[in-house]
């Protein structure tokens, strides 16, 4: 039996449901990282960089409309952008939702004329690292100074 349908759509990263997902994401990082997590230290992207024409913010909703996941695409000037803030509610994990969000982000990036995506993550998130590798991302050298970032990936579109 397949899982119930999940709706994924672009949304305002400043909206209440987006803020809910981000708050849950930050709380999970604080629990999982040995040093905790302080969003003010993490190079949090400006919301405007995650809206067209620069980027986008995706929100996944369950069949009842509740927010259960998110992913941001932080653009700027040029053909390179970053995937940011990929999070899935614990109860919705294991159903391929993160992969679907990543697919939507890549499609959106192509529509915005982007040619290369990058992302960073922390070793405390081995399931994310494994997913990025499965999805064809290549590990690269450090490209930012985020104090929580330990593993860096890139994908050419």
Q: Which residues contact 150 (CB under 8 A, 6 or more apart)?
A: 120, 121, 122, 123
pTM: 0.94
The pLDDT value recorded for residue 89 is 98
Please state which CATH number belongs to domain 7-114.
3.40.630.30
Q: What is the pLDDT of residue 1?
A: 56
pLDDT, position 2 = 63
Domain boundaries, the chain: 7-114
Annotate 31-46 with DSSP letters as a single string.
Answer: HHSTT---GGGTTPPP
* C-alpha distances out from residue 35 to 10, 45, 147, 148, Å: 32, 21, 11, 9
Measure CA 29 to chain center: 13
Q: What is the pLDDT of residues 55-72, one digit of tens each?
A: 999 999 999 999 999 999
Question: pLDDT tens digits for 41-58?
Answer: 887 788 999 999 999 999
- Helix/strand/coil for 13: coil
Non-local (6+) Cβ contacts of 15 within 8 A are: 59
Phi, psi of 70 (to 5 degrees): -155, 165
Residues of the chain with pLDDT under 70: 1-4
Q: How far apart are CA 28 and CA 18, in angstroms?
A: 15
């Amino acid at each position: 039996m397949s899982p119930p349908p999940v709706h994924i759509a672009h949304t305002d990263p400043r909206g209440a449901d987006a803020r809910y997902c981000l708050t849950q994401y930050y709380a999970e990082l604080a629990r999982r990282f040995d040093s905790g997590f302080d969003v003010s230290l993490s190079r949090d992207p400006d919301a405007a960089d995650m809206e067209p024409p620069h980027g986008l913010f995706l929100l996944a909703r369950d069949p009842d409309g509740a927010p259960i996941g998110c992913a941001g695409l932080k653009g700027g000037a040029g053909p390179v952008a970053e995937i940011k803030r990929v999070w899935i509610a614990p109860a919705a994990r294991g159903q391929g939702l993160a992969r679907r969000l990543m697919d939507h982000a890549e499609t959106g990036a192509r529509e915005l004329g982007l040619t290369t995506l990058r992302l960073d993550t922390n070793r405390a998130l081995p399931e994310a690292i494994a997913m990025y590798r499965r999805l064809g991302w290549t590990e690269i050298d450090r490209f930012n100074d985020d104090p929580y970032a330990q593993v860096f990936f890139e994908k050419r579109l």
